[in-house]
């Protein structure tokens, strides 16, 4: 084995020490991406790879820097922004991304984006008109 192969092996072990952990978090993230529009619980996510709740939380935070819940909220807000940019109403966007009430959606959207969903939609429409 050459020196370079040894160095690559060391780097691989440091960066990808546990392929099973990486596969778990990737599969859970894909599950969230595919199901963000419905109610997801930590039990739903742990059943994807049959792991414990606390282990999944630790892994997800280690590899993505946030909890699965935080990632889900971020995903929903980004999708809602896309829908609002395309002219959907606030209520339509709210229900399309999995929230049950427009008021809780608006509060969360404002907290994450700095503006209300209707203000975001208005700005996006004016930006398109240019």
Read off the pLDDT of residues 59-103 as tens digits, 9 standing for 90 and up: 999 999 999 999 999 999 999 999 999 999 999 999 999 999 999
**Which residue among 31, 65, 99 closes a domain?**
65
Which CATH number fits the domain that encloses residue 127?
1.10.10.60
Residue among 84, 96, 116 nearest 38 (CA): 96
The predicted-structure confidence for 3-12, as pLDDT tens digits, reads as follows: 877 777 777 6
pLDDT band at 16, cuts 50/70/90? Answer: low
Same domain, 78 and 117: yes
Q: How many CA atoms lie within 13 A of 88 on its CB side?
A: 16
Domain that holds residue 3: 1-65
The predicted-structure confidence for 46-70, as pLDDT tens digits, reads as follows: 998 888 999 999 999 999 999 999 9
Same domain, 21 and 55: yes
Same domain, 61 and 72: no
Domains identified in the chain, total number: 2
**Which residue among 65, 99, 115 closes a domain?**
65
Same domain, 4 and 39: yes
């Amino acid at each position: 084995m050459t020196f370079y192969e040894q160095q690559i092996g060391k780097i691989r072990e440091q960066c990808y020490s546990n392929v099973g952990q990486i596969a778990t978090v990737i599969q859970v993230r894909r599950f969230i991406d595919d199901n963000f529009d419905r109610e997801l619980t930590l039990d739903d996510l742990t059943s994807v790879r049959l792991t414990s709740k606390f282990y999944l939380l630790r892994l997800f935070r280690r590899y993505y820097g946030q909890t699965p819940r935080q990632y889900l909220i971020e995903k929903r807000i980004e999708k809602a922004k896309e829908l609002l940019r395309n002219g959907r109403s606030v209520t339509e966007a709210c229900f399309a991304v999995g929230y049950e009430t427009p008021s809780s959606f608006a509060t969360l959207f404002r907290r994450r984006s700095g503006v209300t969903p209707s203000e975001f939609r208005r700005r996006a429409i004016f930006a398109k008109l240019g």
